[in-house]
Structure 1
Amino acid sequence: MQVVSWLPRTELPFAAPSRPELLVLPEPPAEPVITRPVAKVAIAPSPPVARPKIEVPRPSVTPRPASKAVADVEAAPVKAKAVLLPPPRFALQLLRAGRCLVLVELPTGSAFQSRDPAYLLLKDMLRAAGLPDSPQIIGEPVRWPLLRRGSVDQGPEAAREFVQGFLMARLEEAECACLWLVGLPAVRFASEANAEAFNSELEIEGLGSAWALPGLELLMDEPQRKADVWQAMRRLMARWKQNDE
């Protein structure tokens, strides 16, 4: 069995004493330690992670040309908002005396009566001018505004267009040597003149020759104005007298 020595675990009775050298157990041979060379690997530090660069668009220094529509709006002049003026108030009566038409302001707004002081003054003026002193009334008085209510424009321009259109229609019916405009409303809305044109001759497009006179009520309140009217009448009288001949 190839047993070199055997030692009992306990002391056997009546057994011879064991030799001391036999009690020493031989140490197993040490296994050779194989040392493997460890390769040194140089670990380079990892490069920092590059963050993606985000380009933020910035406005160009050179301004972009504006579109044509925007340029037209910017270049267009700012128009002032139109202001609606209140409608003027007046009453006018048209009469015919010989070859003259007379557009006269009605001082009271009502039609002339035969004994009205203003109508009597008008008859005197016609007689002094060599015209019939009983003029023919043409149509109803022209009163403005036409409508008491409503959104229709009844300002000064609309009134002027209406009065001029009314006179043009009457002038087509018969010849007129001179148009008398008696009173400020007649002067203002049959033409574009004002009180400064009193006692002067006007040339109105579409209406021909006209004579601007102060109102009958103003002549009665300020009789000194009659002298200026008479002087102007003498200068213009030949116009309608030549037509009578």
Structure 2
Amino acid sequence: MLTEPRRRAYLSAMQVVHWLPRAELPFAAPSRPELLMPVAPVEDLDFDVRPAPAATEAPAAPQARSGERPKIEIPRPGSAPKPATKPAEAEEQAAPPRPAPVPPPRFSLQLLRAGSCLLLVELATGQPFQSRDPSYLLLKDMLRAAGLPDAPQIIGEPVRWPLLVRGNMDQGPEAARDFVQGFVQARLEEAPCSCLWLIGLPALRFAANADGEAYYQTLKLEGLGEAWALPGLELLMDEPQRKADVWKAMRQLMARWKSVE
């Protein structure tokens, strides 16, 4: 089920401003009846309208009475007037320093399905998989070793972040995390899986809020179920010694998706 913050982040990322659900949404914010009340016409509102003074009229200067003498202030010793603080200096002292804006993260992720498993894979080049790509051939070898179909089904277009090149929409790390988690959760609601493979550091950071220390481990994620953290395909090709750790962890997890078939 999509929570209200994730649903709003998901709709904002798709630039959906006005929408109407076909059925009652779980965890949705309650409607506010006062927004549906008719707006009162302007004539019925009681305003105290007074004509504004003309721009050419000068304010009348106060005239001193003939019998009064001007009052002169005599400074007393020890009571020196304090220098007035300039408005600009006062604002600088009162306003706290603004934090530096966080640049939006940049990554590309592809979601695939192989048997009863979902795979969220980092696209190191940002381009979709090709049949003869070395990284895609390595992924097929890993699926065969896991006893899964080696021709995974590609689900949708790659998730590329940031979504927009320009605009005022928040595209920081928190917004990216909400979007990726909401995207995967929506696919899981359509068809559940026995295990979610998170391949690559961006998949770990924005789907599981984890880092490279979680490689080869299983994670229990709220709304996403059990996930298996793996290094990226490019990293496995650059450092082949990591494949032994992948195979060791895979042998302990194979029963989870093989029992579903």
TM category (shorter chain) comes to 0.5 to 0.7
Q: Per-residue deviation at 1:85? A: 1.2
Of the candidates 166, 180, 205, which is equivalent to residue 163 of structure 1?
A: 180
2:154 is the alignment partner of 1:137 = yes
Look up the match of 2:123.
Answer: 106
2:229 is the alignment partner of 1:212 = yes
TM-score (norm 1): 0.66
Could you tell me which runs of 5 or more consecutive residues in structure 2 were left unpaired when the two chains were aligned: 1-95
Higher gyration radius (CA) = 1
2:166 is the alignment partner of 1:118 = no
Q: Per-residue deviation at 1:213? A: 0.1
Identify which of structures 1 and 2 has the higher relative contact order when contacts are C-alpha pairs closer than 8 Å and 6+ apart.
2
Look up the match of 1:197.
Answer: 214
Of the candidates 85, 110, 123, which is equivalent to residue 93 of structure 1?
A: 110
Q: Per-residue deviation at 1:115? A: 0.2
1:53-101: CA deviation from partner (whole Å, max 9, x where unpaired): xxxxxxxxxxxxxxxxxxxxxxxxxx98555311010000000000000
In the TM superposition, 1:73-88 aligns within 5 A as 83-88=100-105
1:16-47: CA deviation from partner (whole Å, max 9, x where unpaired): xxxxxxxxxxxxxxxxxxxxxxxxxxxxxxxx
Amino acid at match of 1:121: L
1:198-217: CA deviation from partner (whole Å, max 9, x where unpaired): 00000000000000000000
TM-score (norm 2): 0.62
Q: Per-residue deviation at 1:136? A: 0.2
In the TM superposition, 1:45-60 aligns within 5 A as none
Counterparts of 2:160 and 2:101, CA distance in 1: 20
The percentage of aligned residue pairs carrying the same residue is: 75
2:212 is the alignment partner of 1:186 = no
Amino acid at match of 1:156: P
Number of matched residues? 167
Counterparts of 2:138 and 2:105, CA distance in 1: 26
Q: CA distance change for structure 1 residues 128 and 147 in 2, over 3 Å: closer, same or farther?
A: same
Look up the match of 2:91.
Answer: none
Root-mean-square deviation (CA), in Å? 1.5
Amino acid at match of 1:125: M
Determine helix, strand or coil for the equivalent of 1:112: coil
Counterparts of 2:116 and 2:97, CA distance in 1: 45
Q: Per-residue deviation at 1:175? A: 1.9
Amino acid at match of 1:124: D
Amino acid at match of 2:255: A
Look up the match of 1:234.
Answer: 251
2:260 is the alignment partner of 1:243 = yes
Could you tell me which runs of 5 or more consecutive residues in structure 1 were left unpaired when the two chains were aligned: 1-78
1:100-149: CA deviation from partner (whole Å, max 9, x where unpaired): 00000011100000000000000000000000000000000000000011
2:239 is the alignment partner of 1:222 = yes
Counterparts of 1:197 and 1:235, CA distance in 2: 16
